[in-house]
A and B are shown apart, each in its own frame.
Chain A
Amino acid sequence: MADMDTFVAISAALTGIDPGKLAPGVDPIKVSAEYFQKASTEAPDVFKRVLSIASATPPPANLADALLNGSGDDVRFLCRSIMLMWFLGSWFNPNDLKLYASAIPPAAPISSSVVSSKAYTQGWVWAAAQAHPMGYSTLRFGYWNQPPVALNDFIGA
């Protein structure tokens, strides 16, 4: 399996979103490529380990659990960074995530950076809320007066 396919499979397992939604066959937007690039640039060695865990033979019975709970802190927090990219379009440094998940987190707000304007507008948290990114609606006048379509129509899982 190509690294990108592995990355999408990992992302789907971690986020609970259908891989065909994360990286559609016809994908003019392709944030998957941006996130792959970001993770491999920010944490090249750990990212390789993440990919290798998912490509192991036989594959882990529960991929998300293997990544988040069975492979140590470096893998766990990079995976959380990848999840946050998919949901928010923002990059959180894995080391910061580790610090803020500790028993005594820093008082100052955690810092993050938006990967790109495209990434912000493709954040999946809005779909999880059955909504749309603030400042990026593709819906029509008055839609807010009626209930949204079902959650599964948004995330495809």
Chain B
Amino acid sequence: MADTIFDAVIVGAGFSGAMIAKQLALAGKHVLILEAGASIPVNVNEYMERFYTASTKVPETPYTPELFSPSGILTDPATLNAGRPTVLSLDASNWQDPKQSYLIQNGPLAFASTYERIGGGTGRHWLGSSFRFLPNDFRTQSQYGQMVDWPIGYDDLQPWYTKAESEIGVSADVDEQTYLGVTFPPGYAYPMKPIPPSLVDQSVAAAIAGMAVDGIPLSVRSTPAGRNSQPYQRRRVCAGNTNCIPICPIQAKYDPSVTINEALETGKVEVRYNTVVSDILVDVNGRVSSVNYVQYNKPDGPPAKTGSALGHVFVLAAHAIESPKLMLMSRNNGRTPNGVGNSSGQVGKNLMDHPLYLAWALAPAPLFPYRGPLSTSGIEELRDGDFRRQRAAYRIEIGNEGWNFPIGDPDVTTLDFINGMNKSGLNPPLAANTSPPALAGATLINSLNDKLSRQLRLAFLVEQSPEERNRVTLSADTDHLGIPRPAIQYDLSQYTKDGLIAAKATADDIFAKMNAKQFTTAPDDNDPSHFPAVVNGNNVKIKYYGSGHIVGTHRMGSDKTKSVVDSLQRSWDHPNLFVTGGGSFPTVATGNPTLTLAALALRTADAILKSDLRA
């Protein structure tokens, strides 16, 4: 029996893969998706049980393969067929230990973001923030003499943003989102009304009224959310579980499993799970002819089967670290000596994230955090401005989960109060040379109530500049299938560091304006995710976190010697190969990247359908 030749073979069942598969299938095309990880469960019960019972509740907790035991003991990534990074391997003690860290981190700084390898992709644990990029985000070189321009502008993407907002189901208000040059078609309305602001948002808004940074007045604005404010796509309304990351228990937050299931309902799509693509084969004419894969039954079991998938068009949508890894692995007996699609030499380079500055404080009066979606509003005016000539821009995300992200509360403060400790900073000794007090009864309840209800955190998502030295290469260390694991080199440019330093100054100013007492702690000297800086003559240490906004590693451009794909995400080297996702971003801007990568995916699907698949 001859092997099936699919119209399109898609590698990866995440945001991009799902969006493209559905569009092609709706047009009657026969699509095969190859997904490295486990299938989409019929409900989230197993994910929730794993989340509830884990003492370490991090973005990776609900998903498979399990990377750590319930108490947090890490699995050796060499024993897993589809391993992935975890934030639990970012400590000084383990970030460069290949038995604990899936990524082989070669420094000098730690790459602090993670991703999933599972049906639905990293979109399983996304927050839901659905920002459009700003017009100037697409032209920072021509506007500010910094970084690079995109080969397309805001107006090119605008119609695709509206389609992506419909596919995801975004709740927002057009008037409120019309700022810094963003425009909408006449009469446009988001699919759903905005998510109401939290009490935390309202307190910050009241406190910063009249405040300006670099002469730019600040305001609090509701965040466009891929989260239902009314029933949508057969999914329920948000119940404010305060758990968007790692998982919404009622799927009021969109995730790509929704689109995968809709694609499957066409009857035109087949998904093969537990299927790791290991090679991209290019024929003598430069076209991709097939991909080879390995299948497994158990996450740490032996290979069960190998195979090959044939297609007319191939879409690599395996994530901004796994896609370039696969391209670099595919040498075609020397015909693609630097990897598939890599005549520019840019594959794997320009790795970017939003290095995140986190600051936390205790407000003078209750704000009642730990209620509502994780974040409902932000301060967006500093996403663009003339300051971008000198330093990176940022947006400010207001958190609704108290000090959960910064210190792991409410657990840490509870332990402090009950056991007479002071890791939180909220339970200092009452007198010199004494231990922190241990509380019980009404005193305990009232102290917990007083402190937890006043917790506030702000996260600053800083635009990282693209640099070739920040890159994904192939490690000699392998996974359980013998496939190389990603090796990462990562650093921050001075431009980016200056953005983080500016973020710290703004955090200090906002908390001062709120009359909030700041508790942000300085990182340890051996923390691999920090850098020293001098601010106002003082030596400080700036800690950054990962945002999970991994982009840049197969950048799009208008010059095939300097980019991997064109603006349609088509490989310059192989006409029937598309490489999609955040990896195509030439710059990371300041908006959370998902809506933009979804818009790009829909635009790519349209281009595929308009082209002769066999040509």
Contacts and interface: CB of A to CB of B under 8 A. Distances in A.
Contacts of A137: 239-242
B196 A142 contact: yes
Nearest to B447: A128
Contacts of B404: 134
Contacts of A88: 410-411, 414-415
Contacts of B182: none
A131 interface: yes
Interface string A85-117: 001101010000100110101000011111011
Contacts of A84: 414-415, 418-419
A145 interface: yes
A141 B229 contact: yes
B403 to A, nearest CB: 11
B70 A113 contact: yes
A120 to B, nearest CB: 4
Nearest to A140: B239
B453 interface: yes
Interface residues of B, number: 57
A131 B368 CA distance: 8
A135 B247 contact: yes
A34 to B, nearest CB: 13
Most chain B CB within a 10 A radius of its CB, from A111, A125, A147: A125
A139 interface: yes
A14 interface: yes
A133 to B, nearest CB: 9
A15 B440 CA distance: 6
Interface in B387-413: 400-402, 404, 410-411
A121 B52 contact: yes
Interface in B442-458: 442-446, 448-449, 452-453
Helix, strand, loop or mixed for chain B's interface?
A: loop
Contacts of A105: 421
Given A113-B55, A145-B199, A128 B418 contact: no
A126 interface: yes
Given A117-B52, A135-B243, A135-B249, A17 B372 contact: no
B54 interface: yes
B249 to A, nearest CB: 6
Contacts of B297: none
Contact of B53 (A16, A64, A117, A148): A117
B414 A13 contact: no
Contact of B240 (A16, A83, A139, A157): A139
Interface residues of A, number: 53
A140 B250 CA distance: 12
Contacts of A128: 410, 445, 448-449, 452
Contact of A64 (B49, B70, B243, B441): B441
Contacts of B443: 16
B484 interface: no
Nearest to A141: B237
B339 interface: no
B272 interface: no
Contacts of B493: none
**Which of B249, B410, B452: most chain A CB closer than 10 A?**
B410
A16 B439 CA distance: 10
B251 to A, nearest CB: 13
Contact of A129 (B51, B240, B420, B448): B448
A87 B49 CA distance: 19
B452 to A, nearest CB: 4
B440 A68 contact: yes
Contacts of B229: 141
A80 B239 CA distance: 33
A116 to B, nearest CB: 7
A4 interface: no
Contact of B442 (A16, A90, A145): A16
Nearest to B242: A134
B376 interface: yes
Contacts of A80: 418-419, 438
B465 interface: no
Contacts of B48: 117, 135
Contacts of A136: 52, 241, 249
Nearest to B237: A141
B372 to A, nearest CB: 3
B345 interface: no
A129 B71 contact: no
B369 interface: yes
Given A83-B418, A83-B440, A148-B371, A114 B242 contact: no
Contacts of A157: 442, 445
Nearest to A98: B419
B594 interface: no
Given A130-B449, A134-B242, A87 B71 contact: no
B55 A15 contact: no
Nearest to A117: B52
21 contacts: A13-B440, A16-B445, A17-B445, A97-B419, A101-B438, A105-B421, A114-B54, A114-B70, A116-B53, A126-B410, A129-B402, A131-B370, A131-B452, A132-B242, A134-B370, A135-B52, A137-B240, A141-B239, A141-B240, A144-B400, A147-B199
